[in-house]
Amino acid sequence: MIAPSILSADFARLGDEIRAVAGEGDTRADWVHVDVMDAHFVPNLTLGLPVVQSLLKATDVPIDCHLMIENPDKWAIGYAEAGAYNVTVHVEAAHDPVMLAKNLRAAGAKAGLSIKPNTPIEDHLDTLKHYDTLLVMSVEPGFGGQSFIEGVLDKVRTARRLVDTGHLKLVVEIDGGINADTIERAAEAGVDCFVAGSAVYGAEDPGKAVAALREQAARARG
């Protein structure tokens, strides 16, 4: 699965940028990844619920909201109620992540849990049993265009093993520095869904970039 990140898109043309990855076949994105940053949990500030509501009206590609915000227990439910397909919160910010997962599901969304590069996955395995998606950050959250942190793939391998043995039932997603040079290593480690920003929106044809990344990942997974 390929989820282009609009953090790397032209914010003045978001509707057109999403349509560029909403074609048919392998050029069609599986999800559109939307990074919500509040300038508190992370230093950067991007966009919020009103923009997400507008994007939901502009596309039928499922919207994957990644909330890099303080107090997601309070704010995340609004994104689910608006119609986001998957709403991901950070374990480092959630006060009661188990209850939050239940509330997100009750509001109609899949529940995602994200962990920073230095957060051990082992501390949150019981919590992950309540989630539909694990988002492994392969850069420090808050800015696009960072270099891939290779060491996080150990967490991906742990998650993949637990999914394959039935201990967890979730999609393993990765976000940060995913491009033609890194996607195969991430796929080999066991990633299901790849968030790609500049690798898609820095290309001349974003749809073809989606297809190329998908082919690389599929080949690496065998």
- Residue ranges of the annotated binding site for a divalent metal cation are 33, 35, 66, 175
Residue 158 φ/ψ, nearest 5 degrees? -60, -45
Tokens of 160: 């993949």
Which residues are marked as active site? 35, 175
| 86 alpha-carbon distance from chain centroid | 9
- Known binding-site residues for substrate equal 5, 66, 142-145, 175-177, 197-198
Which residues are within 8 A (CB) of 29 and not within 5 positions of it... i.e. 6 or more apart? 2, 3, 4, 21, 22, 61, 210
- Known binding-site residues equal 5, 33, 35, 66, 142-145, 175-177, 197-198
Long-range contacts of 79-83 (CB under 8 A, 24+ apart): 79/36, 79/49, 79/52, 79/109, 80/104, 80/107, 80/108, 80/109, 81/107, 81/108, 82/49, 82/52, 82/53, 82/56, 83/53, 83/56, 83/108
Q: Is the Cβ–Cβ distance between 101 and 76 less than 8 Å?
A: no
Give, as one character, the DSSP assignment of residue 41.
S
Buried b / exposed e along 127-154 (16+ C-beta atoms within 10 A): bbebbbbbbbbbbebbebeeebbeebbe
